[in-house]
Chains A and B, each alone.
Chain A
Amino acid sequence: EPEVTQTPSHQVTQMGQEVILRCVPISNHLYFYWYRQILGQKVEFLVSFYNNEISEKSEIFDDQFSVERPDGSNFTLKIRSTKLEDSAMYFCASSEAQGPTGSGANVLTFGAGSRLTVL
């Protein structure tokens, strides 16, 4: 079964440092997403990405965050200057379609997550 791969599985960083989280989406998927989940809280949408640009972002996704698809396989989330409150599990997801085309709604396949700990 195809899967979304995320690296690293766990990263510890100092406050103020830059962090890059990497994801390899499923190869024939066209839409990519980042979510985060603070320990004990719900899964929060950060951003969706299609055709090399951001298609939607939440209010959480402020100027300290950026996403990039540097090549044909990787999808990255960069946090420029980490804060203590950025400590969370970050999930990457991908989907074939984003709903309006064809039948059904988009179905996301999530990776196992990258746990970020900011000290």
Chain B
Amino acid sequence: LAKTTQPISMDSYEGQEVNITCSHNNIATNDYITWYQQFPSQGPRFIIQGYKTKVTNEVASLFIPADRKSSTLSLPRVSLSDTAVYYCLVGRRALTFGSGTRLQVQP
């Protein structure tokens, strides 16, 4: 299983763009990268998934360099409601959550 490393926490202000990077040096050829968001006392919620290059949806963008050893979740113009823990999972089955990145958005 590919091990992932993320910053423990990040701080931002409303309206800023936030980029959270996840390292996954031993990602396998068939592995996908999946990001979830978790609010306190709620279950994780799927945000975005990608394999290479760039993926964008209505919530976020995911940037994956050619070597795929890392990925960056980009949240445009964050608001207070984006305060949450963000998890990067790697694999075709992607079942194991790491410690995640706790994002705190200030007014």
Chain A min CB distance to B39 (Å): 10
Contact B97–A104 (Cβ < 8 Å)? no
Chain A min CB distance to B38 (Å): 7
Q: Is the C-beta of A84 less than 8 angstroms from some C-beta in chain B?
A: no
Contact A108–B97 (Cβ < 8 Å)? no
B interface list, Cβ under 8 A from A: 31-32, 34, 36, 38, 41-46, 49, 51, 87, 91-100
Q: A45-B96, A99-B93 are in contact. List 8 more A-B contacts (CB 8 A).
A: A42-B97, A91-B43, A105-B34, A105-B49, A107-B34, A107-B46, A108-B44, A108-B46
Give the A interface residue count (CB, 8 A). Answer: 26
Contact A109–B38 (Cβ < 8 Å)? no
Q: Which 10 A-B pairs have the closest CB atoms?
A: A110-B43, A99-B92, A105-B32, A43-B97, A99-B93, A91-B43, A105-B94, A105-B92, A107-B46, A45-B95
Contact residues, A91-119 vs B (CB, 8 A): 91, 93, 98-100, 104-113, 115
What are 25 A-B contacts defined by CB distance under 8 Å?
Answer: A4-B43, A42-B98, A43-B44, A43-B87, A43-B97, A45-B95, A98-B92, A98-B93, A99-B92, A99-B93, A99-B94, A104-B32, A104-B49, A105-B31, A105-B34, A105-B49, A105-B92, A105-B94, A106-B93, A107-B46, A107-B49, A108-B95, A110-B45, A112-B43, A115-B41
Residues of chain B lying within 8 A (CB to CB) of residue A109: 46
Contact with B along A19-35 (1 / 0, CB 8 A): 00000000000000101
Q: For the complex, give the distance between the alpha carbons of A99 and B30 in Å.
A: 10
Q: Is the C-beta of A48 less than 8 angstroms from some C-beta in chain B?
A: yes
